[in-house]
Structure 1
Amino acid sequence: MSHLAEPIQIRGAQFKNRIIKGAMSEALANVQGQPNHLHYGLYEAWAKGGLGCAITGNVMVDIRAKNEPGVVAIESERDLALLKQWADIGKKHGMVQLVQLSHPGRQCPKGLNKETVAPSAVPFSPMLATTFGTPRALREDEIKDIIQRFAAAAAVCEKAGFEGVQLHGAHGYLISQFLSPLTNLRTDQWGGSIENRMRFLLEIYHAVRAATSDRFIIAVKLNSADFQRGGITEEDVITVFKAIDAAGIDLIEVSGGTYEAPAMAGAKEEKRQASTIAREAYFLDFADKIRKEVKCHLMVTGGFRTVQGMNAALDSGACEFVGIARPFAVETALADRLLAGQDVRYGVDKIKTGIPMVDKMAIMEIIWYAAQFKAIGEGKQPNPKLSPLKVFFKYLKGNLTAVIKGRVNSRKSA
């Protein structure tokens, strides 16, 4: 029997197989951050395709801190009925759904929000400084407010009927910014030693656990490395994994990279060792190492393309779940095909526009797929040959419109 098809129970949720769709930003919400029929159509397509679990695209816990236009935001029970419709789709088809809760910190395009905040006022590298501004350092009261925002959003998710949440602690978002000595230069209880730098993550976990029931799953996505000189060390990463495991986390997704070093999008693939390439997944070697240190369930996402490779990873004990993201954007029934023993059909290459500055960033690995999601949500077939350049210019136009609307609304409120 394929390991992929084996069911597993975590708290109050029964996963019918070991395939999880990793989080990918849908960019389908309105300016108020509300989900809609496009989300429902998209997730129903995946649910009908046999998927065991779907992790949503990153959902903001603060509407004032959006990483891009079109993201969902949960700050209160305002959209409880809409969220319930979303959660009910998973229940209808036996697909577990985890809502990825996130705060982007400094990773917000210039002009999208009134300001950007981070642990410290650290600017981006020169290559990205034209796109992302230097953030303002958070005050302690603001840090505590964000912690409670995660808890409040999780409570709403449980009330809506979702089986759990995933805290986004990877890819250079706010939790990851606190963990990294490159972006956290604080000298108070939130910075300095790794014990202080991981305090933000642990406080969020404890607040979310206190705000939800014992049947509710809490997962976290963490970097195995941020692939930047002077960034978090492997020793510190292991310390973080062990601490969050000891705190009671249910599932850790192993990932890596930031906007400035986007390994999560496969940008470092050409530098991987032959042994890693043979095992397919980008972060499986690290999962092997961390498996000896933690007791919680592990999920590895990125690079899986064959059923043999997926089953080998599960059989090795390095992880209990296989995460797949980009291929689901162009083949909604992929889970059924994998369970039937057929490999990934569309191993999507890195999306390139031909514009060097753009192609060095991870942005196309978000917006090209978002265009596919919109088509699926509308009941159309995805298009693997969709022009990246066309998508990019449409994205620029949408960003400009969002910025203009935001400035007009700011003047009106003033």
Structure 2
Amino acid sequence: MTTHSETTAGHARSGAASARSVLSRSFELPNGFVIPNRLVKAALSEGLGDRDGAPGARIQRLYRRWAGSGVGLSITGNVMIDRRHGLGEPGNVVVEDERHLEQLHAWAETTKAGGSKAWVQINHPGRQTPRTLTPHPVAPSAVGLQGSAKMFATPRELNGAEIEDLIRRYATTARIVTEAGFDGVQIHGAHGYLVSQFLSPLANQRTDAWGGTPEKRRRFVIEVLGAMRAEVGQDVPVSIKLNSADFQKGGFGEDESLEVVHALADEGIDLLEVSGGTYTSAAMLGVDASLKESTRRREAYFLEYAEKVRAQVPRLPLMLTGGFRTADGMSDALASGAIDLVGLGRPLTVQPDFPADLLAGRNEESVVNPRRSGIKLLDNLTELTYYSVQMWRMAAGKEPAPDRHAAINVTQYLLNNGFESLRSPRG
């Protein structure tokens, strides 16, 4: 006779097996590129590059630790296109030319050693660069970050020739990293960086061919995509990380974001990763007050937006990052048809084997819970410092220390990066 507890346990095992089955399926992009499973290491800004912008040994060690994580695709953190005035935070990797080609090749090989694919996230910070790194930043318009004048200088408005040069730089970086062995690239079009600044009516107040209307504001990202495609060809995936909205009054909103998605799809973007927020509204970290409690409970912060994209642009592959913690939450989002890939960021800094454990049935949930100090100022910094320090530990050949006191993490972070980096977004 089967007892109730045995039946319940059987259902639980069946549900777990079903979730693993959904997560382990491969996914093919429209251009034929195959991702081995549905789990993706989303971009996390590592801050581990050498002083000259090379990837260096620390990034090698970090990605060697992640190589066996079990993800089907690994996306690097910010790789910048311009060392003159394009550093977003200390330790950015910069790829302007072939000077670090050998190290880039080693980084690609290390990242793919466990069987995953590897893409590079390509970025320019625009106005979002600390004074200590770039005292004279550039941006679509001379509009500074609200309430951040002490940390971030007011940018100089780019002229037309400089905009064209930046578009070429995005494309050049894409060509170099794929020649080095990376399988694809991602345009960082979210979190208030340069592409996001061009899209925002608050940051982009131009009245020329690059601003003044939604169509002109999105011209920059469309031309970046076209230039990249011309350099890497049709077989190399070109994706984008895009805000659903920047959650600022009068800023880049959901309706305009959907228009951008349509335009990108028409131009042949291979994958859209959905995110949201900026420096001043960090929805991507799950700390924005506008996020509904029901949204938090179902884990995926931007799933409702992804569902709208799927309804309007059904053939566009979608990846969603932000809030996923359980096998059930991930598999439910995939099984609903709203998304195709699950992005994991913070869980991999604390539990680097979490995806492999999920797929093998050894674990069903990631417990990401930064230890609080009880000191208000330190607790405000915990979300930023906690995950960065875990990556730095792995880059030093150590394992994450999730239970280490928050004050120690904050101290280590400040010693490495200084106070100017405390508001840096992390992916």
Q: Report the TM-score when normalising by structure 2.
A: 0.88
1:67 corresponds in structure 2 to 88
Name whichever of 217-226 and 13-22 sits farther off: 13-22
* Kept after mapping to 1: 8 A contact 2:372/2:405: no
Distance 1:364 1:29, change over 3 A: farther
Quote how far apart the aligned CAs of 1:55 are. Answer: 0.8
Alpha-carbon distance between aligned partners in 1 of 2:253 and 2:181, rounded to the nearest angstrom:
38
Distance 1:179 1:52, change over 3 A: same
> What amino acid does structure 1 have at the position aligned with 2:301?
Y
* Kept after mapping to 2: 8 A contact 1:59/1:72: yes
Q: 2:404 aligned to 373, 386, 403, which one? A: 386
Alpha-carbon distance between aligned partners in 1 of 2:80 and 2:386, rounded to the nearest angstrom:
20
* Kept after mapping to 2: 8 A contact 1:326/1:348: no
Quote how far apart the aligned CAs of 1:343 are. Answer: 2.4
Quote how far apart the aligned CAs of 1:90 are. Answer: 3.4
1:103 corresponds in structure 2 to 124
2:27 corresponds in structure 1 to 8
2:107 corresponds in structure 1 to 86
Q: Which residues of structure 2 form unaligned runs of 5+?
A: 1-17, 422-427
Quote how far apart the aligned CAs of 1:91 are. Answer: 3.4
State, as a whole percentage, how many aligned pairs show the same letter: 44
1:287 corresponds in structure 2 to 306
2:386 corresponds in structure 1 to 368
Quote how far apart the aligned CAs of 1:378 are. Answer: 2.5
* Kept after mapping to 2: 8 A contact 1:69/1:402: no
Q: 1:190 aligned to 194, 210, 227, which one? A: 210
Alpha-carbon distance between aligned partners in 2 of 1:350 and 1:389, rounded to the nearest angstrom:
10
Q: 1:124 aligned to 142, 145, 166, which one? A: 145
Quote how far apart the aligned CAs of 1:355 are. Answer: 5.4
1:167 corresponds in structure 2 to 187
Alpha-carbon distance between aligned partners in 2 of 1:277 and 1:96, rounded to the nearest angstrom:
29
- Cα offsets for 1:335-366 (capped at 9, x unmatched): 1111134323322359889454x866xx7544
Distance 1:368 1:114, change over 3 A: same
Distance 1:137 1:367, change over 3 A: farther
| Residue aligned with 2:272, SS | strand
> What amino acid does structure 2 have at the position aligned with 1:173?
Y
> What amino acid does structure 2 have at the position aligned with 1:206?
G
Quote how far apart the aligned CAs of 1:390 are. Answer: 3.5
Distance 1:368 1:169, change over 3 A: same
* Kept after mapping to 2: 8 A contact 1:327/1:348: no
Alpha-carbon distance between aligned partners in 2 of 1:60 and 1:366, rounded to the nearest angstrom:
20
Alpha-carbon distance between aligned partners in 1 of 2:263 and 2:331, rounded to the nearest angstrom:
29
Alpha-carbon distance between aligned partners in 1 of 2:269 and 2:322, rounded to the nearest angstrom:
22
Name whichever of 326-335 and 287-296 sits farther off: 287-296
> What amino acid does structure 2 have at the position aligned with 1:121?
A
Alpha-carbon distance between aligned partners in 1 of 2:255 and 2:37, rounded to the nearest angstrom:
33
2:4 corresponds in structure 1 to none
Quote how far apart the aligned CAs of 1:298 are. Answer: 0.3
Alpha-carbon distance between aligned partners in 2 of 1:333 and 1:156, rounded to the nearest angstrom:
30
Alpha-carbon distance between aligned partners in 1 of 2:32 and 2:57, rounded to the nearest angstrom:
27
Number of equivalences: 398
Alpha-carbon distance between aligned partners in 2 of 1:102 and 1:96, rounded to the nearest angstrom:
20
- Cα offsets for 1:365-389 (capped at 9, x unmatched): 4443222112112221101123444
> What amino acid does structure 2 have at the position aligned with 1:235?
D
Distance 1:210 1:266, change over 3 A: same
For the pair shown, the structure with the greater C-alpha radius of gyration is: 2
| Residue aligned with 1:220, SS | strand
Distance 1:308 1:400, change over 3 A: closer
1:411 corresponds in structure 2 to none
* Kept after mapping to 2: 8 A contact 1:179/1:197: yes
Does the alignment pair 1:157 with 2:183?
Answer: no
Alpha-carbon distance between aligned partners in 2 of 1:351 and 1:291, rounded to the nearest angstrom:
38
Q: 2:160 aligned to 111, 128, 140, which one? A: 140
Alpha-carbon distance between aligned partners in 1 of 2:396 and 2:176, rounded to the nearest angstrom:
27
Does the alignment pair 1:181 with 2:198?
Answer: no
Distance 1:83 1:365, change over 3 A: farther
Alpha-carbon distance between aligned partners in 2 of 1:248 and 1:291, rounded to the nearest angstrom:
16
- Cα offsets for 1:250-297 (capped at 9, x unmatched): 0000000000111111112x5433442342100001100111122221
Quote how far apart the aligned CAs of 1:233 are. Answer: 2.3
> What amino acid does structure 2 have at the position aligned with 1:323?
G
Quote how far apart the aligned CAs of 1:78 are. Answer: 0.7
Quote how far apart the aligned CAs of 1:132 are. Answer: 1.5
Alpha-carbon distance between aligned partners in 1 of 2:371 and 2:300, rounded to the nearest angstrom:
16
1:302 corresponds in structure 2 to 322
> What amino acid does structure 1 have at the position aligned with 2:246?
D
Q: 2:366 aligned to 345, 370, 380, which one? A: 345
| Residue aligned with 1:67, SS | coil
Q: Report the TM-score when normalising by structure 1.
A: 0.91
